[in-house]
Structures are given as C-alpha cells and as structure tokens.
Amino acid sequence: MTKHVHVQNCRTCNRRKNIFTFLNDDELELIDKHRYELTFNKGEIIFKQGSPLTHVACITEGLAKLYIEGLNKRNLILSFAKPVQMIGGPGMFVDYRHHFSVAAIEDTIACLIDTKVIEELIEHNPVFARDLLKTSNLTSISNFNKFINLTQKQMHGRIADAFIFLLDEIYGRNPFILSISRQDLADLTAMSKENVIRVMKIFKDQGLLKVDGNLVEILNKKELIRIGKTG
Amino acid sequence: MTKHVHVQNCRTCNRRKNIFTFLNDDELELIDKHRYELTFNKGEIIFKQGSPLTHVACITEGLAKLYIEGLNKRNLILSFAKPVQMIGGPGMFVDYRHHFSVAAIEDTIACLIDTKVIEELIEHNPVFARDLLKTSNLTSISNFNKFINLTQKQMHGRIADAFIFLLDEIYGRNPFILSISRQDLADLTAMSKENVIRVMKIFKDQGLLKVDGNLVEILNKKELIRIGKTG
DNA sequence: CGCGAGCTTGACGTTGTTCAACTAGAGTGG
DNA sequence: CCACTCTAGTTGAACAACGTCAAGCTCGCG
C-alpha cells in the first residue's frame, strides 16, 4: 500500500470530494475540527450495522465494501467505496443507527466526520443540501438497477454485470487484480460462491474472461455486456 | 369511490402532508400557483418510466403503485402511494427523467406540483430540505429490507411479508378487499403469478389466510410474521 | 349466450443451492 | 525445515425451489 501522508487540514486537502467544493473556508474549518482520520487494515470493520450513527466516513485511500447483514449469516453487498467517496448513513434524521456494515477490503484510510457537522451544514448551506439530495437520488437510481439485476437476471447475466462493473467502476484497468474474494462476488450477485466459481469457469472456457487466481482479464467486454443486458 | 370536492387552496387543504407543515403561507401559495389537480381512473398511468420529470405527484385520494419496468415485460413493484403521500422522482437534480412508472390501482386523485417549485423551496427552506432528506433516507432503509426479502427469502416468506404489509400499511383493516391483482402480488414479490396463487392456497389450507376471490382475511398474523422473519 | 380477462391447477423442465470431498497456499510452532 | 492447521478456492452429485407451459375455470359484461 502507498505510504500515507497525514492530511493537515480539510482546506488544503487535495483529496476532498466534489461535494465539499460547495463549502467555503469557514465550513471546511468546521469539518476539520470535528473529524478523525483513521487507518483500517484489510478485513476490518469501519461501521457495524445496527450500531449508533455518530459519524459519516470519507474514504481517502483503499477500498471498502458496504453490505447488509441479512438472514442466516448471508450478506448482500450494496456497493463499494473508493477514494474519494463519502459514506453517509441513511439513519441520519431517522433512527441514528447504521443500516449496513462497512468493511475495508484493502488497507484503507478514512476520515470520520461528526454527523452533527453535516446536519449543521445542511441547515445553513442550501447548495450542500441540494447536493446531498442529488447523491441520494443517484443512489436510489442505482438501487433500482440492482433490483432488476438481482430479481430478473440469472447467474450468467449477474456475473457478467459484476465484472463489467468491477472493470469500469472499481479497478479501471484491464487486466486487474481482484482484491475481493469469491464469497464477496457471491454476496454482490446474490448467489452461492460455488456458482460464482462455476460461471467464471464457463466464461473462461468461452474465452470471455482470463482467470489466474486473482488476476482477471476481460477478453470480450462486448459479449459480457450483451450477456448482462439480456440477463 | 367517494365523491371528491375540489380543493380550493393548498393553504386550506386538510389533506396536506406532514412535509408541507414546514411551509409558511407564502410558500404554500407558491405551490398552489404551480399545481394541477388531476383524477386518474383505475389502471391509468400517472408517470411513465423514462418520460421527462417535470412534476412530482401528491396522492390525495385512491391508491397507486410505483413500479420499475424491467426485462421481458416483467415489472417490479417498489411501493405503493396512498393519501397523503408525495411521489418525488429520484431523477431530480440528476437527469430529470422518471426512473419508475406510477399507475393508479384504484380511482385516484393527485396533485401535480412543478419540480421547479420544489427546488426553490429546497433552496430557501432548510427545514423542508432536511425533511426531504429524511424521507429519502427512509426510502433507502425500506429498499434495504426489500433487497433482503427478495434475494434471501423464499416464496413463503415473501408472500407472508406481502400480506402483513398490505394489512398494516395499505388497507389497515381485517378482512380487506384486495384491490391489487395476483399479477401485482407477483410483481411485488418477484415471483410468478402461478406461484403466488399456489402459496396463497397453501396458507389458506393451513388456516393462516381466508381467501374468497379478492376478499382476504388474515387469520394468523403471528404465524405469518414468523414465516416472514425466517424466510 | 358468448366473449375475454383474470384466476387456478397440474405436469414438467430448468435454475440454483447444498453438501461433501478435495486442493492449494499461507502462516505457525516445534 | 517439516508437519500442522486454517482459510479460500474448486469440483461433482443430489436435491429443492421456482418458472413455464398448457389447459381449464369463473365471472362480469355486452
């Protein structure tokens, strides 16, 4: 992992997300006063579902998974967070609890910001509030896609979607080293890890994918997209 | 359907939702100037997925379903809207399109409010903005439940959940007249209508449910809840 | 009386899970 | 350096869950 230089101040932080561009220096100062910067080792839990929601997180290094802990120890991965992405709890204004867990998939650095500060900014900065609403809407829209994926596509389509997603949204290069486990892929696509492996093998045999342990190369993106579209 | 008296003014409207309680008279006047009140017959479409988002809707009479049009003509019902509930598009601030369709299940009256007005209120009334965020968070949380229901429970659990939901959230009395079709139940639980019918019959034979056409009575709510919890 | 839409039932095939066994690699302690 | 263990990955076979298809039914309505 790249060596991390501790960020001195939110105002001068070059990692700060788009959403914070709508804040003036005073507001950034306010955030700076109420934040902790923490490092998490691979596998460690950042937020635990059900626990009190006191802070939101901003991932500045690494990769984290957001997942719901469901029935019979089965998890469902909602999404991933990479630099620089804010993880705001939907428990805000509601019950002030975390409604999903967040865990580091790679070694990760996160800034934890007091929810009170976020609420204060919402109160006084309508552009910030508006942007939060937009983010929230974007999440809704991607949830709708997820609903259709998980309920109306079968395994091949879901796995194809997953690899296109990993290439385009997470790793951004081809080939890439899969830092998530087969079980994580299963939790992402709502299938058993055995079937994840089986479908991956089929794609490998068909020349769509090259798989060597955790090194994956998308060989036929167009065809994978087609499989994803038709289910 | 009950005869409807046309609402004269938002300010004096006794149907106005909690969310509008945070508005002063001037703001209500502004909404009043930019709203249409429309009636929809059972089956008619209020919003069509993909169409431009220019207005949000507020259901003042009747019942509507919110559903995603998915693959192969299969729909997925996200939720229902009854009086008095606002249907805000997640396309707001994003692409200004509808990301799900809305259709009247019973004869329905809706107020359509220009999105520009909503945006203006967000800009100038932080309490209103805050309340929209809260509503949005509540929707997220219920989506999380839906994810677990649809991906980790099997048919019996999903149908049990559905009837508890219909009793508690939609009809509010027992017995109730099911105004939604078997196909709608299928679209709500992401299963085939044939299997909806089969599971309903099993529940009927087990004495959990009394079904006579569209007249339904929950006979053993506790057991249905148990089935819903365990999947 | 006939028509059509929604509902119901059974038989059948497919999809996907579960279970059990096996393998490979990484870390640990003697 | 070698067992030992632990975890993640892999494979196959048996089984359960679920969708599809085809047929028949019911009921309201013209």
A94, A134, A143 ranked by CB distance to B138: nearest: A94
Whole-structure pTM value: 0.93
Which pair of tokens denotes residue B34?
A: 């930019």
Q: What is the CATH number of the domain that holds B196?
A: 1.10.10.10
Which of A102, A138, A144, A161 should be substituted to probe chain B, the one whose Cβ sees the most B Cβ atoms within 10 Å? A144
Nucleotides of C under 7 A from a protein CB: 6-11, 15-20
Whether the CB of A213 is less than 7 Å away from nucleic strand D comes out as yes
- pLDDT, tens only, B55-69: 999 999 999 999 999
Looking at chain A, the whole-number percentage of residues with pLDDT higher than 70 is: 95
Q: What is the CA radius of gyration of chain B?
A: 19
Instruction: Give the per-residue pLDDT at A6.
Output: 66
Instruction: Give the per-residue pLDDT at B3.
Output: 43
Inside any domain, residue B130: no
Q: What is the CATH number of the domain that holds B10?
A: 2.60.120.10
Inside any domain, residue B197: yes
Inside any domain, residue B136: no
Whether the CB of B181 is less than 7 Å away from nucleic strand D comes out as no
How far is A71 from A80, CA to CA, in rounded Å? 21
Same-domain check for residues B87 and B15: yes
Inside any domain, residue A135: no
Q: Burial-class residue A189 by CB neighbours within 10 Å (0-12, 13-18, 19+).
A: buried
The vertex-A134 CA angle with A179 and B48, nearest 5°, equals: 105
Q: For the sheet containing A176-177, what is the strand order?
A: A176-177, A215-218, A209-212
Asked which of A109, A125, A141 is the last residue of a domain, the reply is: A125
Instruction: Give the per-residue pLDDT at A2.
Output: 42
**Residue whose CA is minimally distant from C7 C1':** B182
Chain A residue with minimal CA distance to B189? A151
Instruction: Give the per-residue pLDDT at A3.
Output: 44
Whether the CB of B213 is less than 7 Å away from nucleic strand D comes out as yes
Task: Give the count of alpha carbons within 13 A of A130, CB side only.
Answer: 18
Domain residues for A168? 150-230
Instruction: Give the per-residue pLDDT at B2.
Output: 42
Interface check A150 vs B, CB under 8 A: yes
Contact B132 A133 (CB under 8 A): yes
Which pair of tokens denotes residue A28?
A: 């950034």
How far is A191 from B217, CA to CA, in rounded Å? 35
Interface check B150 vs A, CB under 8 A: yes
Mean pLDDT of A128-144: 96
DSSP letter at A171?
I
Same-domain check for residues A107 and A203: no
Same-domain check for residues B67 and B18: yes
How far is B39 from B107, CA to CA, in rounded Å? 7
Which of A140, A149, A153, A230 should be substituted to probe chain B, the one whose Cβ sees the most B Cβ atoms within 10 Å? A140
Distance from CA of B55 to the nearest CA of A (A): 16
Same-domain check for residues A10 and A90: yes
Inside any domain, residue B143: no
> Chain A neighbours among B 22-81 (CB < 8 Å)?
68, 70-72, 74, 76, 78
How far is B138 from B133, CA to CA, in rounded Å? 9
Interface check A91 vs B, CB under 8 A: yes
Mean pLDDT of A82-96: 94
Which pair of tokens denotes residue B128?
A: 């209103």
Same-domain check for residues A13 and A118: yes
Same-domain check for residues B24 and B92: yes
- pLDDT, tens only, B92-114: 999 999 999 999 999 999 999 99
Same-domain check for residues B120 and B11: yes
Question: How many structural domains compose chain B?
Answer: 2
Burial A127-164 (b: 16+ CB within 10 A, else e): ebbbbbbebbbebbbebbebbbbbbbbebbbbbbbbbb
Instruction: Give the per-residue pLDDT at A82.
Output: 93
- pLDDT, tens only, A145-193: 999 999 999 999 999 999 999 999 999 999 999 999 999 999 999 999 9
Task: Give the count of alpha carbons within 13 A of A163, CB side only.
Answer: 35
Whether the CB of B183 is less than 7 Å away from nucleic strand D comes out as no
CB A162 within 8 A of CB B125: no
Instruction: Give the per-residue pLDDT at A166.
Output: 97
Residues facing residue B52 across a β-bridge = B97
Residues 6+ apart with CB under 8 A from B35: B10, B111, B112, B113, B114
Inside any domain, residue B135: no
* Residue labelled with tokens 């561009």: A21
Residues facing residue A86 across a β-bridge = A58
Same-domain check for residues B16 and B88: yes
DSSP letter at A5?
P
Same-domain check for residues B15 and B76: yes
Same-domain check for residues A118 and A28: yes
Inside any domain, residue A15: yes
Give the model's confidence band at B6: pLDDT under 50 very low, under 70 low, under 90 confident, else very high: low
Mean pLDDT of A87-113: 95
Chain B residue with minimal CA distance to A140? B90
Asked which of A58, A91, A125 is the last residue of a domain, the reply is: A125
- Residue A1, pLDDT > 70, answer no
The vertex-A9 CA angle with A5 and A13, nearest 5°, equals: 65
DSSP letter at A148?
H
- Residue B194, pLDDT > 90, answer yes
How far is B191 from B185, CA to CA, in rounded Å? 8
Same-domain check for residues B8 and B49: yes
* Rounded alpha-carbon distances, angstroms, from residue B108 to B3, B20, B194: 11, 20, 29
Chain B residue with minimal CA distance to A67? B144
Give the model's confidence band at B33: pLDDT under 50 very low, under 70 low, under 90 confident, else very high: confident
Residues facing residue B66 across a β-bridge = B79, B102
Cis peptide before A216 (omega within 30 of 0): no
Inside any domain, residue A136: no
Which has the closest alpha carbon to A203: A171, A152, A154, A159? Answer: A159
Q: Burial-class residue B6 by CB neighbours within 10 Å (0-12, 13-18, 19+).
A: exposed
Interface check B92 vs A, CB under 8 A: yes
Looking at chain A, the whole-number percentage of residues with pLDDT higher than 90 is: 82
Q: Which residues touch strand C (CB under 7 A)?
A: A 154-156, 190-192, 194-195; B 181-183, 193-194, 197-198, 200-201, 211, 213-214
Instruction: Give the per-residue pLDDT at A22.
Output: 85
Asked which of B125, B159, B176 is the last residue of a domain, the reply is: B125
Instruction: Give the per-residue pLDDT at B20.
Output: 78
Chain A positions touching B132 (Cβ under 8 A) are 133
Same-domain check for residues B14 and B59: yes
Whether the CB of B191 is less than 7 Å away from nucleic strand D comes out as yes
**Residue whose CA is minimally distant from D27 C1':** B213
